[in-house]
Amino acid sequence: MVAAEGRHVESFLFMRRLRIVTYNIAHGRGLQPIQGLTSRRKIRANLVKIAELLTQLRPDVVAMQEIDENSSWAGSFDHLSFLREFTGLPHAVYGINNRRSGLLKLSYGNAFLSRYPIVESENVVFGRKTLGEKGFLFAEIDVEGRRLPMVNMHLHYRSRAHRIRQVNKVMEYLTEKHLTRGEHWLHRPIVCGDMNNPSHTDDATASLMTYFSQHGKYTLHPQRAFTFPSPLPQRTLDFVFLPPGCIEVYCLVVKSWLSDHRPVMVEFKLP
């Protein structure tokens, strides 16, 4: 079952229709509050279900947060390679924000999984912690000969001050990137991820939307449906920022219980 926003429009002959999913997969632990309490077998079973869900959604690009490359608390295996195999999506890249060796071996962060080639990527870590650190992953995806820039981010879960500093880094990065590469972009970046704050408050999501509004008519999705239903109160924390040129938008927040977050799917026509 899904909660839907917008109006579905069938594909048009001369306009490419793209489908983007952003999803905090919570280290594959499901609804367990702590990933270290979940067995490797259970994590693998949960990732199989996530792969099945993604296969049903048929995305062109998946942006994931809290995905593990090799962490002892999450089964000590590569979650992105696992999902790549089970979804059949051929292209993938990690943005690792946390690395730790020793007894508690950690390697996790954000990632892209794509139907189209990922021709360039760069990861930016916000701080220097080896546990709980956040960051954003920039990638350019070749959609039938056109480079589509995308940003996948995960912001601080508790501190507004941290989140504001983090989105300021994102804005500085994108401003510089546009100065050096903008003439090669047919589209401004699509930005998505777990923002860890709702859009209606004076916080990072609203700050980022104000920045994007200076560069054309960006739209924010979803506008109403909750993406973080547990624990209460329900909130909308996961978003996709779509740049000018993305039209006939259809947004779904999928009522799934495979993580404490719900996946957000946005489909649109790209000229």
pLDDT surpasses 90 at 231: no
Spatial CB neighbours of 204, under 8 Å, sequence gap ≥ 6: 155, 160, 163, 164, 166, 167, 195, 196, 197
Give CA 147 to chain center in angstroms: 18
Alpha-carbon gap, residue 68 to 74, rounded angstroms: 7
Q: How large a percentage of the chain has pLDDT more than 70?
A: 92
- Strand-strand pairing, 106-114 and 61-68: antiparallel
Residue 112 is predicted with a pLDDT of 98
- Binned at pLDDT 50, 70 and 90, residue 233 comes out as confident
Residue 1 is predicted with a pLDDT of 47
Residue 183 is predicted with a pLDDT of 65
pLDDT surpasses 50 at 242: yes
Spatial CB neighbours of 119, under 8 Å, sequence gap ≥ 6: 140, 141, 142, 147
Write down the H helix ranges in the chain: 40-57, 79-87, 160-181, 204-213
Spatial CB neighbours of 176, under 8 Å, sequence gap ≥ 6: none
Nearest alpha carbon to residue 95 among 128, 138, 130, 155: 138
pLDDT in tens, 111-167: 999 999 999 999 999 999 999 999 999 999 999 888 999 999 999 999 999 999 999
Residue 6 is predicted with a pLDDT of 43
Residue 13 is predicted with a pLDDT of 37
pLDDT surpasses 70 at 14: no
* CATH number belonging to domain 2-270: 3.60.10.10
Residue 15 is predicted with a pLDDT of 62
Spatial CB neighbours of 260, under 8 Å, sequence gap ≥ 6: 24, 26, 31, 228, 230
CA angle 188, 192, 65 (to 5 degrees): 140
Residue 184 is predicted with a pLDDT of 65
pLDDT in tens, 200-228: 999 999 999 999 999 889 999 999 899 99
Listed by start position, the domains of the chain span 2-270
Instruction: Provide the 8-state DSSP code for 261.
Output: S
Mean local confidence (pLDDT), 31-38: 86
The mean predicted confidence, pLDDT, of the chain is 92
Four-residue CA torsion sign, 32, 125, 206, 221: negative
Q: Indicate the range of 162-176, 217-231, 248-262 predicted with least confidence.
A: 217-231
At 180, which amino acid appears? T
Residue 266 is predicted with a pLDDT of 98
pLDDT surpasses 60 at 56: yes
Mean local confidence (pLDDT), 53-79: 97
